Amino acid sequence: MDLTTQIPPADIRPGILRLDDSRIREVAHYGMKLGGVVPLWFGEPDEPTPAFICEAAAEALRQGHTFYTESAGVPELRAALAEYLTPLCGRTISPERIVITASGMNAIQIVMQSLVDAGTNVVTTSPLWPNCSETVRIMGGEVRPVLLSMGNDGWQLDIERLMDACNGNTRALFINSPNNPTGWVMPRDQQQALLDFAREKGIWIIADEVYDRMVFEGKRAPSFLDIASEDDPVLALNSFSKSWSMTGWRMGWITAPLGMIPTLLKMNEFNTASASTFAQHAGVVAVKQGEPFIARSVARYKQGRDLVYDRLSQHPRVRIVQPKGAFYHFFAVDGMTDSLDFAKRLVAEHRVGLAPGSAFGPGGEGHLRLCFANSPEILNHCLDRIETMLG
Ligand SMILES: Cc1ncc(COP(=O)(O)O)c(C=O)c1O
């Protein structure tokens, strides 16, 4: 059923009518209808949530954690996250600064609803996971993308250009590091320069750090929370999806200055009331006992990253660099001018699902995104077919 033929466009906000459908979903829906496609299109680990976390959720259900909870989230989870973050950040993060949300995506929505209005703008790096920019547009705001570039040592950002893109109407800088789709990681000196800039100009930094533990050197990517004091204009959002393989659970959190907490609680209340209660109890166990699982996962992803790099870097049509974080390769294909068409043909003719670069906004066309959080067998199978398609 095509709803747009039934609901008169005049009944729908113009800003919503103008939104594009996600092209990642477009390829995935196409592939799901065809069937038999190996899906590397979404950002999702191949393994299910570890058993000890599932068991904690089952136990929480048995214990009757089936009721509404506080808007800020279950106190035990806020405390566990504060305890988890404090040594990672090298400074005390108090539980009162943490608000649990129903996914990282929901954290983005709540933050944008709180900050963005018609006539304001948000400066981002680009290419970028489309949901981040679309949430700005849903609020009537303007997205000002600043391009990352692919250098020999990985993707890079000219931070001066990011600062130049800000004006008097800029409410926030949205920094997703490690970055989806490029794997770029913002270095500490750039974070410090940007924080100084944000303080001076009174602009928020929205730090999307959902891939913070998915790094191939060190224990965690540099975080704005490591350098920000507790009243700095930094909203750091995170998720249980990637670090603990909990994409289907829909649970995340925001670490904010204390002065912002009442606003975030209001927004939580009017969006979802809270994340699912028994899932939050399982989250406590994930955070407290999840380190060996994270270490094992990252070691597997590193193998996947290297395997894909070793094969695709040999291909004369492909330009590829090693990502420093997240679990994607975002590679350029010489002569490919329509990545959506290419991705659909790859699905139809070879049954391999990748995300088209054009889904990620300016700077994305001409590229494909491949999620390498998969086994060597799956990756080799897909690469055989991708190489056939590349010719
Ligand atoms: C950059 C980025 N931010 C936020 C999210 C949201 O994650 P979730 O809603 O699963 O917590 C994702 C998911 O892919 C992402 O790639």
Ligand 1 site, residue 39, Cβ cutoff 6 A = no
Question: Of the candidates 224, 220, 219, which has an alpha carbon nearest to the alpha carbon of residue 176?
Answer: 224
Position 20 scores a pLDDT of 80
**Atom of ligand 1 minimally distant from the CA of 103:** 11
Cβ neighbours around 370 below 10 Å, total: 25
Question: To which H or E segment does residue 138 belong?
Answer: helix 130-138
| Closest C-alpha to ligand 1, atom 11 | 104
| Closest C-alpha to ligand 1, atom 16 | 180
- DSSP annotation string for 245-298: T-GGG--EEEE--GGGHHHHHHHHHHHTSSS-HHHHHHHHHHHHH-HHHHHHHH
Ligand 1 site, residue 183, Cβ cutoff 6 A = no
Position 17 scores a pLDDT of 87
Position 153 scores a pLDDT of 85
Ligand 1 site, residue 241, Cβ cutoff 6 A = yes
Exposed e or buried b for every residue in 220-252, given b needs 16+ CB within 10 A?
A: bbbbbbbbbebebbbbbbbbbbbbbbbbebbbb
Angle at which helices 104-115 and 130-138 cross, to 10°: 30
The amino acid sitting at 283 is G
Position 227 scores a pLDDT of 98
- Cβ distance 329 to 369 under 8 Å? yes
Domains of the chain: 3-49+292-390 (3.90.1150.10), 67-289 (3.40.640.10)
Per-residue pLDDT tens listing for the chain (391 residues): 455 567 777 888 888 888 888 899 999 999 999 999 999 998 888 899 999 999 999 999 999 999 999 999 999 999 999 999 999 999 999 999 999 999 999 999 999 999 999 999 999 999 999 999 999 999 999 999 999 999 888 999 999 999 999 999 999 999 999 999 999 999 999 999 999 999 999 999 999 999 999 999 999 999 999 999 999 999 999 999 999 999 999 999 999 999 999 999 999 999 999 999 999 999 999 999 999 999 999 999 999 999 999 999 999 999 999 999 999 999 999 999 999 999 999 999 999 999 999 999 999 999 999 999 999 999 999 999 999 999 8
Mutate to test the pocket of ligand 1, among 40, 239, 247, 328 (most ligand atoms within 8 A of CB): 239
